[in-house]
């Protein structure tokens, strides 16, 4: 049998604690063909009750002390895009140690540089846990969906947002009400901005785009919109039109570059992404001539995320190192962004207007002047002189055309709030 793979864990929280417990299963070493042995651990508070015995492991409060240990692999499960997590990951690679991490924020910012460093040192940089928890999407894009390339990736990548949208639909309650409940249940952070503002989905999406297209992870050329503006009314209208609203991360190859976006979208009922509910995640990948592949599963939580970390560790134990982003670091290309305004889609538009004569004609005229044509329309109720909602579905049109029309319409004295536009996603 080969010598043991010595593992040092930086972080013993939700995921790190799960990894300690999972590695106690001797079957994993059997499968790996060598013993998976925890050599040292680090966290902030040694006295915390973690539900397992840490006395048998070498301990340090300073995670960078692990770099001097005998470990072959450092598992970084602290989090944060810089600071101690970066010191640990970068220091480990420089010291010629393999790295496993679940840290999407760090990889989205420093991933290409770290992958190049890992390659230079002949060690692995593995991060299955960083995107979509327990779903093996990193491995699929890095190793499996390669013969015909990948044309697009559509993902529901944030369980908090998906939970909130599912609950808003089920109960008719507002975004803020459901967010409060999600916080009480532990499904949303005390500071929820990174999740509900779309930033967490963006981190994960740029990593998937990098794997799919062989580009340097790029957080500059991505448009990001979260779910804070979605109302129960939008969700209800979506249902009437046969759609559900989901926060999607979309990365696709176009004739004029890569389009990366995070935004709420109308997804047609009956298609796979429409039926991913609560805290579940999913990814739909279109792999050229090989067709479409749909992955669904738990996107966070101790066991799903531990599963991904353990899978990376067993890969390393077996000698399956691979390139950090599935392409040699030197061949990762700068991302050529497409023009976001050129993206074509049908749109759901909602206007809150005063119920006065001529208002509909005025909206229709502005849309028509921007070459936006209307497929269908609903006006809810009648209350002369009071605000009412008018909803329109457009034919396929460019984002720039719709934005141009809405800018003019928003300036009308009959329009009471910023118009809402949501693309109808034909995933």
Q: Please, what is the minimum distance in Å from the beta carbon of residue 37 to ligand NAP? A: 20
User: Taking the CB of residue 18, how many other CB atoms lie within 10 A of it?
Assistant: 21
Q: Name the residue nearer to ligand NAP (CB basis): 14 or 236.
A: 14
Stretch binding ligand NAP (CB under 6 A), from 36-44, 211-219, 277-285, 332-340:
36-44
User: Taking the CB of residue 189, how many other CB atoms lie within 10 A of it?
Assistant: 14
Q: Beta strands 73-76 and 98-101: pairing type?
A: parallel
Stretch binding ligand NAP (CB under 6 A), from 44-52, 148-156, 239-247, 326-334:
44-52
| Residue of 136, 69, 125, 133 lying closest to 101 (CA atoms) | 125
Of the residues 4, 14, 34, 362, which one makes contact with ligand NAP according to CB under 6 A: 14
- 294-313 mask for ligand NAP (x: CB under 6 A)? ------xx---x--------
Residues in a beta bridge with 293:
285
Strand segments, DSSP code E, in 299-384 are 344-354, 374-379
Q: Name the residue nearer to ligand NAP (CB basis): 48 or 365.
A: 48
Contact 128, 294 (CB under 8 A): no
Q: Two tokens at 124? A: 């692995």
Contact flag: residue 111 with ligand NAP (CB under 6 A): no
Stretch binding ligand NAP (CB under 6 A), from 7-15, 169-177, 247-255, 418-426:
7-15
Q: Please, what is the minimum distance in Å from the beta carbon of residue 298 to ligand NAP? A: 9
Contact 205, 221 (CB under 8 A): no
| Residue of 17, 35, 16, 39 lying closest to 26 (CA atoms) | 35
Give the Cα separation of 376 and 237 in Å (integer): 12
Of the residues 2, 26, 33, 44, which one makes contact with ligand NAP according to CB under 6 A: 44
Let me know how long the chain is: 427
Question: If DSSP states are collapsed to H, E and C, what string results for 281-304?
Answer: EEEEEECHHHCEEEEEEECCCHHH
Contact 262, 158 (CB under 8 A): no
| Edge-to-edge strands, sheet with 36-42 | 58-60, 36-42, 5-10, 73-76, 98-101, 125-126
Contact flag: residue 129 with ligand NAP (CB under 6 A): yes
Q: Two tokens at 416? A: 């009471």
- 250-289 mask for ligand NAP (x: CB under 6 A)? ----------------------------------------
Q: Please, what is the minimum distance in Å from the beta carbon of residue 103 to ligand NAP? A: 4
Contact flag: residue 249 with ligand NAP (CB under 6 A): no
| Residue of 46, 44, 45, 96 lying closest to 68 (CA atoms) | 96
Give the Cα separation of 41 and 9 in Å (integer): 5
Q: Is 307 helix (H, G, I), strand (E, B) or coil?
A: helix
Q: Please, what is the minimum distance in Å from the beta carbon of residue 385 to ligand NAP? A: 51
Contact flag: residue 45 with ligand NAP (CB under 6 A): yes
Contact flag: residue 133 with ligand NAP (CB under 6 A): yes
Of the residues 7, 11, 175, 282, which one makes contact with ligand NAP according to CB under 6 A: 11
Q: Please, what is the minimum distance in Å from the beta carbon of residue 133 to ligand NAP? A: 5
Q: Name the residue nearer to ligand NAP (CB basis): 79 or 91.
A: 79
Of the residues 7, 16, 116, 285, which one makes contact with ligand NAP according to CB under 6 A: 16
Contact flag: residue 380 with ligand NAP (CB under 6 A): no
Contact flag: residue 89 with ligand NAP (CB under 6 A): no
Q: Name the residue nearer to ligand NAP (CB basis): 241 or 295.
A: 295
Give the Cα separation of 77 and 264 in Å (integer): 30
Contact 22, 55 (CB under 8 A): no
Q: Is 200 helix (H, G, I), strand (E, B) or coil?
A: helix
Q: Name the residue nearer to ligand NAP (CB basis): 63 or 115.
A: 63
Q: Please, what is the minimum distance in Å from the beta carbon of residue 308 to ligand NAP? A: 8
Contact flag: residue 103 with ligand NAP (CB under 6 A): yes
Contact flag: residue 78 with ligand NAP (CB under 6 A): yes
Q: Name the residue nearer to ligand NAP (CB basis): 93 or 265.
A: 93
Q: Name the residue nearer to ligand NAP (CB basis): 15 or 164.
A: 15
Task: Specify whether 68 is catalytic.
Answer: no
Catalytic residue, from 104, 109, 126, 204: name it. Answer: 204
Question: Per-residue DSSP letters for 126-177?
Answer: E-GGGSSTT-THHHIIIIITTSS---EEEEE--HHHHHHHHHHHHH---HHH
Contact flag: residue 322 with ligand NAP (CB under 6 A): no
Known catalytic residues are 204
Q: Residue numbers of the site for ligand NAP (CB under 6 A)?
A: 11-16, 42-45, 48, 63, 77-79, 84, 102-103, 129, 133, 300-301, 305
């Amino acid at each position: 049998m080969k010598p043991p793979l010595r593992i040092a864990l930086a972080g013993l929280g939700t995921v790190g604690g799960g990894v300690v417990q999972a590695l106690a299963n001797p079957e994993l070493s059997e499968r790996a063909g060598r013993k998976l042995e925890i050599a040292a651990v680090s966290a902030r508070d040694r006295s915390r009750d973690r539900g397992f015995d840490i006395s048998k492991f070498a301990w340090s409060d300073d995670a960078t002390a692990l770099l001097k240990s005998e470990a072959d692999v450092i598992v970084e499960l602290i989090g944060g895009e810089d600071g101690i997590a970066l010191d640990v990951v970068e220091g480990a690679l420089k010291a010629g140690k393999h790295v496993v991490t679940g840290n999407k924020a760090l990889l989205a910012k420093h991933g290409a540089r770290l992958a190049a460093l890992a390659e230079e040192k002949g060690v692995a940089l593995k991060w299955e846990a960083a995107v979509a928890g327990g779903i093996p999407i990193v491995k699929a894009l890095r190793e499996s969906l390669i013969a015909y390339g990948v044309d697009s990736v559509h993902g529901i990548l944030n369980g908090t947002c998906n939970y909130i949208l599912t609950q808003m639909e089920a109960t008719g309650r507002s975004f803020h009400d459901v967010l409060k409940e999600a916080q009480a249940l532990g499904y949303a952070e005390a500071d929820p901005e990174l999740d509900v503002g779309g930033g967490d989905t963006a981190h994960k999406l740029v990593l998937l785009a990098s794997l799919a297209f062989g580009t340097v992870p790029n957080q500059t050329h991505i448009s990001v919109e979260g779910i804070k503006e979605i109302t129960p009314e939008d969700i209800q209208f979506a249902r009437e039109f046969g759609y559900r609203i989901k926060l999607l991360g979309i990365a696709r190859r176009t004739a004029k570059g890569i389009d990366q976006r995070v935004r709420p979208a109308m997804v047609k009922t009956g298609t796979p992404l429409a039926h991913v509910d609560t805290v579940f995640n999913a990814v739909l990948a279109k792999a050229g001539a090989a067709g479409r592949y749909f992955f669904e599963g738990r996107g966070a939580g101790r066991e799903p995320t531990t599963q991904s970390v353990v899978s990376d560790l067993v890969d390393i134990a077996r000698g399956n190192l691979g390139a950090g982003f599935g392409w040699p670091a030197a061949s990762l290309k700068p991302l050529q962004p497409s023009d976001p305004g050129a993206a074509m889609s049908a749109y759901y538009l909602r206007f809150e207007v005063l119920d006065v004569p001529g208002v509909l004609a005025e909206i229709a005229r502005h849309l028509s002047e921007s070459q936006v044509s209307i497929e269908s329309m609903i006006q809810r109720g009648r209350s002369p002189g009071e605000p009412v909602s008018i909803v329109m579905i457009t034919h396929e049109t460019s984002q720039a055309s719709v934005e141009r029309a809405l800018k003019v319409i928003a300036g009308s004295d009959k329009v009471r709030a910023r118009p809402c536009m949501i693309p109808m996603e034909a995933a």
